[in-house]
Amino acid sequence: MNKFNTESHIRTIKLISQRYRLQFILSILISLFVAPMSFSATPYCSSIFQNGLQTHGTNGSINFGKNSRLIDSYNARLNTPVVTIDSTSVLKTCGKQDCTATGIPIDGLPVDKKESWPWENVYVYDNQTASIGSPEATNFRNIELGTNATAVFVQSPTYYYIDKLTLGYKSILRLSAGDYWINNFTALANARIEIVGEGPVTFFVKGNFSLPLNFKINENTKDPSRISIYTYGYSDYAAGSRIWAFIRSQTSATLKHKAQIYGGLLANSISLEGSSIVDFDAKAVDKMSFNYFCSGYVPYIDVTPPQIDIVHPADISGPETTLTGTIRDPGGIKRAILRYGNTELPLALVNDQFSIKLPLEVGENIFSVEAVDDAGNLTTRGVFLTREPIPGFKFLFDNYEPFQMADHLDISGTLSIPDGHTIKSAVVQTASGELSLPLVDNKFSITLPLVMGYNEYKFVAFDQYDNKTIEVLQAGGLEGVELVDVQINPDFGTNPVREITGEVHSLWPAESLVATFEDEPLELIPVTNIISRFKRTIVMTDYRERFDIRVEAPNGETTYGEFDSWYEQDRTVVYLDNEYFTTTENATIFITGTLHLPVELIGAVTGIVVTSDQMPGIEIPVDWTAGAEQNSTFSVEVPLAVGDNKLVVKAKKGNEDFNPGLGWSQAELFVTRYE
Nearest CA-CA partner of 79 in 98, 59, 51: 51
The set of residues, in sequence order, having a beta carbon less than 8 Å from that of 619 and lying 6+ positions away, is: 609, 610, 611, 650
Question: Residue-wise over 203-238: b if at least 16 C-beta within 10 A, else e?
Answer: bbbbbbbbbbbbbbbbebeebbbbbbbbbbbbbbbb
Instruction: Please state, in angstroms and rounded to a whole number, the distance separating the CA atoms of residues 391 and 381.
Output: 28
- Taking CA atoms, 613 is separated from 96, 617, 648, in Å, by 90, 9, 9
Instruction: Report the run of H or E that residue 356 belongs to, with start and end.
Output: strand 353-359
Q: Give the number of residues written for the chain.
A: 675
The SS3 of residue 549 is strand
pLDDT of residue 291: 59
Q: What is the DSSP string of 300-334?
A: ----PPPEEEEEPPS--SSSEEEEEEEEE-TT-EE
pLDDT of residue 49: 77
Residue of higher predicted confidence among 634 and 157: 634
Stretch 592-610: mean pLDDT, rounded? Answer: 88
Residue 473 has pLDDT above 50, yes or no: yes
- Taking CA atoms, 439 is separated from 355, 398, 422, 429, in Å, by 42, 15, 12, 16
pLDDT of residue 51: 81
pLDDT of residue 295: 38
407, 450 contact by CB (below 8 A): yes
The set of residues, in sequence order, having a beta carbon less than 8 Å from that of 414 and lying 6+ positions away, is: 395, 396, 442, 443, 444
Within 10 A of 90 (CB to CB), how many other CB atoms are there? 17
Strand locations in 492-587, DSSP E?
Answer: 497-505, 514-517, 520-521, 525-526, 531-539, 544-552, 558-566, 572-576, 581-584
Instruction: Report DSSP state, residue 283.
Output: H
Instruction: Please state, in angstroms and rounded to a whole number, the distance separating the CA atoms of residues 46 and 307.
Output: 14
The set of residues, in sequence order, having a beta carbon less than 8 Å from that of 468 and lying 6+ positions away, is: 362, 363, 389, 460, 461, 462
Stretch 111-124: mean pLDDT, rounded? Answer: 83
Ramachandran category for residue 466: left, alpha or beta (phi over 0 → left; psi -120 to 50 → alpha): left
- Place 75 in a pLDDT band, splitting at 50, 70 and 90: confident
Stretch 520-535: mean pLDDT, rounded? Answer: 90
Residue of higher predicted confidence among 635 and 465: 635
Half-sphere exposure of 650 (CA within 13 A, CB side): 19
Instruction: Please state, in angstroms and rounded to a whole number, the distance separating the CA atoms of residues 529 and 169.
Output: 45
365, 386 contact by CB (below 8 A): yes
Residue of higher predicted confidence among 78 and 545: 78
Q: What is the DSSP string of 11-48?
A: ---PPPPHHHHHHHHHHHHHHHHSPPPPP---TTGGGT
Instruction: Report DSSP state, residue 622.
Output: P
Half-sphere exposure of 305 (CA within 13 A, CB side): 22
Nearest CA-CA partner of 411 in 381, 369, 448: 448
Residue 12 has pLDDT above 50, yes or no: no
Stretch 538-560: mean pLDDT, rounded? Answer: 83
Nearest CA-CA partner of 607 in 646, 663, 658, 571: 658
Lowest mean pLDDT among 132-146, 277-291, 377-391, 415-429: 277-291
pLDDT one-digit tens code per residue, 184-224:
999 999 999 999 998 889 999 999 999 999 999 999 999 99
Nearest CA-CA partner of 124 in 57, 189, 75, 191: 191
Nearest CA-CA partner of 259 in 280, 283, 243, 282: 243
| Dihedral of the alpha carbons of 103, 59, 276, 402, in degrees to the nearest 10 | 50
Within 10 A of 504 (CB to CB), how many other CB atoms are there? 27
Residue 41 has pLDDT above 50, yes or no: no
What one-letter code names the amino acid at 495? N
- Place 284 in a pLDDT band, splitting at 50, 70 and 90: confident
Nearest CA-CA partner of 548 in 504, 502, 516, 591: 516
The set of residues, in sequence order, having a beta carbon less than 8 Å from that of 525 and lying 6+ positions away, is: 510, 532, 533, 534
> How high does pLDDT run on average in the chain?
84
pLDDT one-digit tens code per residue, 323-377:
999 998 877 899 999 999 899 999 999 989 999 999 988 778 999 999 998 888 8
The set of residues, in sequence order, having a beta carbon less than 8 Å from that of 458 and lying 6+ positions away, is: 428, 429, 470, 471, 472
Instruction: Please state, in angstroms and rounded to a whole number, the distance separating the CA atoms of residues 385 and 369.
Output: 13
